[in-house]
Amino acid sequence: MHTKAPIIRAIAQRDNAALAGIIRSVLTEFGAAREGTVFYDPTTDDLYSLFGTPSSSYVVAEQDGIVNGGCGIFPTSGLPHGYCELVKLYLLPEARGYGTGKELINQCINTAKETGYTHMYLETMPELNMAVGLYESCGFRYLPAPMGASGHYGCNIWMLKDL
C-alpha cells in the first residue's frame, strides 16, 4: 500500500536503465515480448536521448525514490500535422491500481495541448488489456488501421483522441 502519491517528473538520464527494465518486464509479464514491439527497439535503452527530440516529452512516476513507470508523447514520423503519439506507458505491478497510469496520461495530454498538438494517437495490443481499458476511459476511440510510421508492426490496436 502506498502511503503517498507518486512524484511525476520529467525523465532524467539516470532513469534509462530502470525504464528499459520496466518496459521489458511488463511486456514479458503480459506475453507480449515479441518482434515489432518496443521490447526490441534500440531506443528503449536510452529514452532520455529519444525524448530530447523537439516536441516530445516523457514523464516518470517515482514512488519512495524508486522509478515505477512512465509515459510520453512523441512526434512519430508519418503522422498528420498536429498529431502526436502517446508512447511507452508502462507501470510496475506494484504501481497499478492507484490512478498513476491515468495521472501520467493526463500529464501527457496537458503537455501535448501546450505543445500545440490537436490529436493524440496510440498503438497497443490485446495482451495489454488493462491499458486498453485505461485508454478507453481517457476518451481514446478505436481506429480501423494504423497511422504514421512507428515501426511497431506487432501492435494491432490503434486509437485516437481529439485534444
| Distance from chain centroid for Cα 97 | 17
Which residues contact residue 125 at a Cβ distance below 8 angstroms, ignoring those fewer than 6 apart?
32, 37, 154, 155, 156, 157
Cα 80 from Cα 47, distance rounded (Å): 23
Q: What is the pLDDT of residue 3?
A: 58
Cα 56 from Cα 58, distance rounded (Å): 7
Q: Which domains does the chain have, with CATH numbers?
A: 7-162 (3.40.630.30)
Nearest residue to 140 (alpha-carbon basis) of 115, 126, 122, 155: 122
Looking at the whole model, is its pTM more than 0.85?
yes
Q: What is the pLDDT of residue 1?
A: 47
> In tens digits, what is the pLDDT along the chain, a chain of 163 residues?
455 788 999 999 999 999 999 999 999 999 998 888 889 888 999 999 999 999 999 999 999 899 999 999 999 999 999 999 999 999 999 999 999 999 999 999 999 999 999 999 999 999 998 899 999 999 999 999 999 888 877 889 999 999 9
